[in-house]
C-alpha cells in the first residue's frame, strides 16, 4: 500500500467512499400528463402506470461531452477542489458520439491549463451500468498500491432518447459527478459487493448512426428482476461470510434505505417488493409462519416463475407498501421529475435520498444500492453513512442547489418537444453542423455545443455562471 497522504504500509485507507457529489439535469422538461394527451394514450398511462411526472430533455445544444463538462466543473467549483488534487478521472456512459475518442479526453481540457495531465482512467461502457463500473474502479484504485494519495473523480452521464412511441416517456438525461477518497461521509462497506453478469439482448444500440436503442421490453424487465434476485442473494451470502458473528440473515430490514437503478419509478416499487419476495422464499418454515402471515398461498412458487405473476406482484407490493414509503420512495424524486438518466440513474436516487432526508435521519444509516445495465451487468453493494453530524451536514449543504434548480426549469409543450427531438434525430452525427437550440434557456454555468466542423471536431462554450451574492 502506498504511503502517500500519511497512509501506513500494508494498511487500507480508512472509510473509502464518496466525499463529494454533484448532479446536473436539463433546463427544459415536458409534462408527462400533457404528453399522455398529446400521444393519445389513456390518462395515467405514464404518470400512474410508469410513475413518471416530468421528463427532462436536451436540445441539440447539449451532448454527452457538454453534460459531463458541466458536472465536473460545477463539482470542483462547488467543493473548492484543486485540479492537482485529482489523480484519477473516469467516465461511465452509453451515449457515444465517437467510437474512438473518449468523453474523458474531452474533459481533460478543464485540467490542462493548470498542467494536470497525470490522470488515470478512461470511459467505461455497458448500458446503464457503466457509471457503477467507473465508481467501483475508483474505489479499487484508492484501495490499491497504485493510489498516490489524490482523489478520484467519477462522472456518470447520458442522454436517454427514444423514437416516438410507447418507450419515449421513459427517456431523460443528466450527469452525476462524484469525488472518491478516504475518510468519506458515504463509506462503501468493504467486502459487500455482489455482481451478476450475463449475455442478453434486452436493450442494445446496434445502429451507430442513431441515438435510439432496440428494446425487448418484456425481456428487459425479466433480466432486471433476475439480476436483482441474484445480486441480493449473493450479497446475503457475502454478508454472512464477512460477519460470522451476526446470526440473523440479511433481510430488507438490514437496510435503512434501498435505492435502485430506475428505468421508471413503478419498476423500482416492484423491485423493493421483490426483495421482500426473496426474503419470503429464503425464510424457514417457522420464519414464514411468524413473519409472513397471509402469504401462505405462495409457499410453493419459484422465483423464476414470478417475473410477470400479477398475483405475486400485487400481494408483495401490498405487504411491503410501508417499507417502500420508508426506505425507497423519497429516493425517486429526481427520477420522477427528470426521467431515466441511464448511468446516473441510481446516483440521482442517492441525491434524492440525501436532499429528501434530515441529517439526523441519515446519521449512521446503511443504504443498499442496486445498479443494473442491460446486456447485462449488475451489482449490489451498501453504503454506510457517517455518524459525524457536522460532516454530514456539510456534505448535504453542497446539495442545497438541487431543488431550487429543479424549480427553475422551463416547461415545453409536447408539440415543441417533439420538434426538438426531430432536430436531434435528423442531425445526429451531422458535420459540419451548427446547433439551433436556444442557449438562453440553459442554466448558468452550463457548457453547450457551439459547433461541429467538417472533420467532426466539436467545440464548446459555457453559459456564464451566476456570481455568488455578496
Tell me if residue 151 falls in helix, strand or coil. Answer: strand
Work out the widest C-alpha separation in the chain, in whole angstroms.
Answer: 71
User: What span, in angstroms and rounded, lies between the C-alpha atoms of 175 and 162?
Assistant: 18
Nearest to 45 by CA among 188, 168, 186: 168
Q: Compute the 3-state secondary structure of the chain and give helix, strand, coil in percent, each to the nearest 5.
A: 40, 20, 40
DSSP 409-449: PEE--HHHHHHHHHHHHHHTT-SSB---S-STTSPTT-EEE
261 classed as catalytic: yes
Terminal-to-terminal C-alpha distance of the chain: 45
Active-site pick, 22, 62, 90, 94: 94
Answer for the pair 261, 339: CB distance below 8 angstroms, yes or no.
no
**Residue showing cell 402469504:** 295
94 classed as catalytic: yes
128 classed as catalytic: yes
Instruction: Locate 406 and state its grid cell.
Output: 429543479
Active-site pick, 68, 128, 156, 265: 128
DSSP 171-239: -EEEEEEEEEESS-SEEE-TT--EEEE----SEE---TT-SPPEE-HHHHHHHHHHHHHHHHHHHHHHH
Nearest to 227 by CA among 130, 307, 171, 342: 307
Instruction: Locate 286 and state its grid cell.
Output: 417457522
Active-site pick, 36, 223, 261, 349: 261
User: What span, in angstroms and rounded, lies between the C-alpha atoms of 73 and 93?
Assistant: 18
CA 266 to mean position of chain CA atoms: 16
Active-site positions read: 94, 128, 261
Amino acid at each position: 500500500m502506498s504511503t502517500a497522504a500519511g497512509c501506513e504500509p500494508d494498511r487500507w485507507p480508512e472509510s473509502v467512499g464518496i466525499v463529494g457529489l454533484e448532479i446536473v439535469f436539463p433546463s427544459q422538461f415536458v409534462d408527462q400528463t400533457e404528453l399522455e394527451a398529446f400521444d393519445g394514450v389513456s390518462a395515467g398511462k405514464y404518470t400512474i402506470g410508469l410513475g413518471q411526472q416530468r421528463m427532462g430533455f436536451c436540445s441539440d445544444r447539449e451532448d454527452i461531452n457538454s453534460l459531463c463538462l458541466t458536472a465536473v466543473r460545477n463539482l470542483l467549483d462547488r467543493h473548492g477542489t484543486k485540479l492537482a488534487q485529482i489523480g484519477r478521472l473516469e467516465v461511465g456512459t452509453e451515449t457515444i458520439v465517437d467510437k474512438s475518442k473518449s468523453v474523458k479526453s474531452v474533459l481533460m481540457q478543464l485540467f490542462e491549463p493548470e498542467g494536470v495531465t497525470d490522470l488515470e482512467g478512461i470511459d467505461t461502457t455497458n448500458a446503464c451500468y457503466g457509471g457503477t463500473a467507473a465508481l467501483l474502479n475508483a474505489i479499487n484504485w484508492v484501495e490499491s498500491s497504485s493510489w498516490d494519495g489524490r482523489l478520484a473523480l467519477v462522472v456518470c452521464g447520458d442522454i436517454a432518447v427514444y423514437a416516438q412511441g410507447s418507450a419515449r416517456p421513459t427517456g431523460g438525461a443528466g450527469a452525476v459527478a462524484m469525488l472518491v477518497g478516504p475518510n468519506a461521509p458515504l463509506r462503501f462497506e468493504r467486502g459487500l459487493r455482489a455482481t451478476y453478469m450475463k449475455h442478453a439482448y434486452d436493450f442494445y444500440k446496434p445502429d451507430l448512426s442513431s441515438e435510439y436503442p432496440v428494446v425487448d421490453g418484456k425481456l428487459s424487465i425479466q433480466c432486471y428482476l433476475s439480476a436483482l434476485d441474484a445480486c441480493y442473494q449473493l450479497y446475503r451470502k457475502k454478508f454472512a461470510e464477512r460477519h460470522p458473528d451476526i446470526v440473523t440473515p440479511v433481510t430488507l430490514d438490514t437496510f435503512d434505505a434501498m435505492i435502485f437503478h430506475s428505468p421508471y419509478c413503478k419498476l423500482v416499487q416492484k423491485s423493493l417488493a421483490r426483495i421482500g419476495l426473496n426474503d419470503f422464499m429464503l425464510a424457514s418454515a417457522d420464519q414464514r409462519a411468524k413473519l409472513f402471515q397471509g402469504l401462505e398461498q405462495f409457499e410453493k412458487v419459484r422465483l423464476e416463475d414470478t417475473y410477470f405473476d400479477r398475483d405475486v406482484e400485487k400481494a408483495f407490493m401490498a405487504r411491503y407498501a410501508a417499507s417502500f414509503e420508508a426506505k425507497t420512495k423519497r429516493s425517486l424524486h429526481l427520477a420522477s421529475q427528470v426521467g431515466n438518466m441511464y448511468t446516473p440513474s441510481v446516483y440521482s436516487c442517492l441525491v434524492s435520498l440525501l436532499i429528501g432526508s434530515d441529517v439526523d435521519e441519515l446519521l449512521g444509516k446503511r443504504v443498499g444500492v442496486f445498479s443494473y445495465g442491460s446486456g447485462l451487468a449488475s451489482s449490489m453493494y451498501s453504503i454506510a453513512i457517517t455518524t459525524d453530524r457536522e460532516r454530514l451536514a456539510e456534505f448535504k449543504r453542497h446539495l442545497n442547489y438541487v431543488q431550487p434548480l429543479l424549480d427553475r426549469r422551463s416547461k415545453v409543450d409536447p408539440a415543441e418537444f417533439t420538434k426538438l427531438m426531430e432536430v436531434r434525430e435528423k442531425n445526429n452525427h451531422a458535420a459540419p453542423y451548427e446547433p439551433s437550440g436556444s442557449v438562453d434557456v440553459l442554466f448558468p454555468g452550463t457548457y453547450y455545443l457551439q459547433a461541429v466542423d467538417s472533420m467532426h471536431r466539436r467545440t464548446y462554450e459555457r453559459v456564464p455562471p451566476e456570481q455568488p451574492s455578496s
